[in-house]
């Protein structure tokens, strides 16, 4: 098995909704800043992290933030040739999660691999042998959604804490949420 570990990072509301109409169901600036910090920070300043996403999540990134800066953007699609023609230089388009892992393995300047959605890509990441942790922001409210985070098998993933992730309740625009981390234990 390759040594590349996959971290998932997502924000989900009480019904596990993560998206609606190709967008997020909420606007939470500090939560977005957390996503940026977690996916960007590296220990070795000569390296970058990779963010792996489905083609629809790629399409959902507002133009001024696309590609996600200071990270290697990897887009998964079944139409590799067509999408490759459309993305800016430096964005990697691949046909599946194993191809992404192989790419990361071959590029030693990549420090960590973050799976950033959407639904089916989270599922691929979560079920993959290389999956290590799920960073899930649990928003304490229900939003109308058409895209959902897959069920987490609580026998397989256990809650942990890390020094760089606050455990206390976060409140923004009167919306409460918690930063949770689930680690695969078997």
| 31 flagged as catalytic | yes
Asked whether 61 and 41 are in contact (CB, 8 A), the reply is no
Which residue's CB is nearer to ligand NAP, number 11 or number 92?
A: 11
Q: Which of 37, 28, 45 is nearest to 9 (CA)?
A: 37
Asked whether 101 and 87 are in contact (CB, 8 A), the reply is no
Binding-site size for ligand NAP (CB under 6 A) equals: 28
Task: List alpha helices for 1-116, DSSP H.
Answer: 29-40, 55-60, 80-86, 97-106
Q: Which of 68, 69, 91 is nearest to 80 (CA)?
A: 91
Residues 47-76 that bind ligand NAP (CB under 6 A): 53-57, 60, 76
From 6, 24, 76, 94, the catalytic residue: 24
Taking the complex as a whole, the smallest distance from the CB of residue 44 to ligand NAP amounts, in Å, to 26
From 6, 8, 28, 31, the catalytic residue: 31
Residues 133-162 that bind ligand NAP (CB under 6 A): 147
Taking the complex as a whole, the smallest distance from the CB of residue 98 to ligand NAP amounts, in Å, to 9
Enzyme catalytic residues: 24, 31
């Amino acid at each position: 098995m390759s040594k590349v570990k996959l971290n998932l990072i997502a924000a989900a509301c009480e019904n596990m909704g993560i998206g609606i109409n190709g967008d997020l169901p909420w606007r939470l600036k500090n939560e977005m800043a957390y996503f940026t910090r977690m996916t960007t920070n590296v220990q070795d300043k000569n390296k970058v992290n990779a963010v792996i996403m489905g083609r629809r999540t790629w399409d959902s990134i507002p133009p001024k933030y696309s590609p996600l800066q200071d990270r290697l953007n990897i887009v998964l699609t079944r139409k590799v040739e067509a999408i490759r023609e459309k993305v800016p230089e430096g964005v990697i388009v691949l046909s599946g999660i194993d191809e992404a892992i192989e790419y990361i393995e071959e590029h030693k300047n990549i420090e960590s691999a973050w799976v950033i959605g959407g639904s089916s890509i989270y599922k691929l990441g979560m079920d993959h042998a290389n999956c290590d942790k799920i960073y899930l922001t649990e928003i304490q409210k229900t939003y109308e959604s058409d895209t959902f985070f897959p069920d987490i098998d609580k026998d397989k993933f256990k809650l942990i804490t890390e020094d760089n992730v606050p455990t206390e309740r976060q409140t923004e625009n009167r919306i409460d949420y918690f930063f949770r981390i689930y680690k695969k234990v078997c």
